[in-house]
Structure 1
Amino acid sequence: MPRRGSALEIAARLGFGARGVVYCLVGGLALLAAFGAGGQTGGSRNALRSLLDQPFGRALLGAVALGLACFAAWQAIAALLDADRHGTSAKGLAVRAGQGLGGAINAGLALSALSLALGWGSGGGPEDQAARDWTAWLMTKPFGQWLVGLVGVAVAGTGLVWLWKAWRGKVLDRLSLPADARPWAQSMGRLGFAARGVVFVIIGGFVVAAALHSNSREVQGLGGALRTLETQPYGWALLGLTAAGLLAFGIFGFVQARYRRIDPPEARDAARAIDRGIDALRR
């Protein structure tokens, strides 16, 4: 059974649950769109806006915003203090860098959800436009096209890693699951990681194309990736399968919230982890 207690552990579990809610919304809405039953092929922000139409929608958005903020904090701390014990090898540092980036993304999504909950605006612009904005900004920097291209390769590479993880079925490594729950949880996790892998490969491909053509307008976010699938031959089937996978990943997020092993480092261990990380970056 998972250990309970620390504030950081509670925050992490709330965060995994909040991420599960977001993916359930994205996947569920896209699944409805695939079969012509309403819904939408939008990204996370559009999915969060859909909560406003529900009873107690603003309260639900506030709860999701809190959970996403907790998840952002957990990812930032995990990256900095190596809470998941990835180490300071090249692979470990890359994973921790991904956690840090994920923390920044979820912090932005938490702010969008909070803005919607408090009626401060539309919760930010569409995700596709936000991706184009940062791409355009990065392209103005020295070696900007190369940097954008590297980002695209990294995003697509992350997607390929998730596809490989889904293929191998190693999705339960950090979970302390009862034996009778492992088969269905593994199925949910494999389908979920495969769907995330597909959309990240597509998103990364768009970013690489933008770098090659020096055109930030070619960049697409999650919603753009789903719409791309929808416009292919048998697009409804491709979109439906991917949407079902994203919904499965959302459900898997609830499993992670309950059963993931979370062992935050003690203060002394945290200081040592920071020192090791700094030494590794200097080498």
Structure 2
Amino acid sequence: MSSSTPNAPSRDQWIEIAARTGLTAKGIVYSLVGILTFMAAFEMGTGDDKGGKSQALEWIEEQPFGQVLLGLIAIGLLCYSVWRLVEAFLDTEDKGSDAKGLVVRSRYVFSGLMYAASTFYAAKLLFGSGSDDGSDTRETVAQKLLQQPYGQWLVGAVALGVMAVGVYQAYYSLSGKHRKKIQKTKLDNKVKETLLASGKVGYIARGIVWLLIGYLFLRAALQSDSSEAGGSDSAFSFLEQAWGSWVLAIVALGLVCYGIFSFVRARYQPVNT
């Protein structure tokens, strides 16, 4: 008798499962980031901290059955990270090995590593050792870079790279490139356009956050002070101080839109394997 399991998922099926699981987890995290930040903007019982990814994961842990929920989210984020790295190294999107293709695939690597870091933080929370938030991590990175020869230039290069990500997010939205994620679905046209509009708003909001994080790194470079660097929570605090609670609330709602669009992608986006 054969020991193989005929109905076991193939490699291609595992890649698709990882992609859809990862996109669902990403949608949950971004929706929570937006909701918690919106509530914090108007002091609606969430404390002074704005809702970065680390705060969203901490909030999940504090809920009933939080350890179970956080474990599931950690698995989902790991799936997303693995999927992005598969896209990069196996070139499942057929981007090629020319200069343009390598730039796109390097973006997949960057995304995979970012979500691997979020997975690691969720795991630290699960095992009771999560103490440093995203801002502290970025301050540590800035501090170590500043200690190197030409440290200010290195931090400045990181700042420009992060800001470039923000600009690309806005371009991705305004150019309509996000439409291809669900363009071929058989949804009602009005529903599809509404969902695409949520994605458009979401990518712009995400771009704003990346630009602000990059700006904070740029300040750290110019002042040679690692404490100026920070993550999304620091970016939210800076945004509120500079432009007020209403602007912060609008960006927060944009991040909720991004989370919703991630759910839509999890359901309808074709996954190349």
TM-score (norm 2): 0.88
The one of 75, 78, 82 aligned to 1:66: 75
The one of 154, 157, 160 aligned to 2:161: 154
Unaligned segments of structure 1, at least 5 residues: 265-283
SS in 1 for 2:185: coil
- In the alignment, which residue of structure 2 is the partner of 1:16? 23
1:49 aligns with 2:58: yes
- In the alignment, which residue of structure 2 is the partner of 1:216? 226
- In the alignment, which residue of structure 2 is the partner of 1:90? 99
1:130 aligns with 2:130: no
- In the alignment, which residue of structure 1 is the partner of 2:115? 106
1:204: how far off?
Answer: 0.8
The one of 183, 186, 195 aligned to 1:185: 195
Distance 2:120 2:270 in 1: 27
Distance 1:11 1:219 in 2: 33
The one of 26, 32, 44 aligned to 2:33: 26
Change (3 A) 1:144 1:87: farther
- In the alignment, which residue of structure 2 is the partner of 1:120? 128
- In the alignment, which residue of structure 2 is the partner of 1:267? none
Distance 1:144 1:182 in 2: 47
Asked whether the 8 Å contact 1:152–1:208 carries over to 2, the reply is yes
Distance 2:149 2:101 in 1: 28
SS in 2 for 1:55: coil
Aligned length: 258
Kindly provide the CA deviation profile for residues 225-262 of structure 1, in whole angstroms up to 9, marking residues without a partner as x. Answer: 111111124x1111110000111111111111111121
Distance 1:184 1:5 in 2: 31
Distance 1:208 1:94 in 2: 23
What one-letter code is carried by the residue in structure 2 that aligns with 1:120?
G
Kindly provide the CA deviation profile for residues 28-49 of structure 1, in whole angstroms up to 9, marking residues without a partner as x. Answer: 1011112331234131111111
What one-letter code is carried by the residue in structure 1 that aligns with 2:77?
L
Change (3 A) 1:212 1:166: same
The one of 228, 234, 241 aligned to 2:238: 228
Asked whether the 8 Å contact 1:77–1:83 carries over to 2, the reply is yes
TM-score (norm 1): 0.86
1:37 aligns with 2:44: yes
What one-letter code is carried by the residue in structure 1 that aligns with 2:186?
P
1:174 aligns with 2:181: yes
Distance 1:216 1:202 in 2: 15
- In the alignment, which residue of structure 2 is the partner of 1:164? 171
% identity of equivalent residues: 37
Change (3 A) 1:86 1:148: farther
Kindly provide the CA deviation profile for residues 110-157 of structure 1, in whole angstroms up to 9, marking residues without a partner as x. Answer: 12212323x422x24011110010111123334333222122111111
The one of 206, 219, 227 aligned to 1:196: 206
SS in 2 for 1:173: helix
Asked whether the 8 Å contact 1:42–1:224 carries over to 2, the reply is no
1:164: how far off?
Answer: 2.0
1:5: how far off?
Answer: 5.7
What one-letter code is carried by the residue in structure 2 that aligns with 1:194?
I
The one of 214, 217, 223 aligned to 1:207: 217
Distance 2:220 2:43 in 1: 31
Please give the root-mean-square deviation of Cα atoms over the aligned residues, in Å: 1.8
Change (3 A) 1:87 1:153: same
Change (3 A) 1:94 1:5: closer
Change (3 A) 1:141 1:79: farther
Asked whether the 8 Å contact 1:163–1:197 carries over to 2, the reply is yes
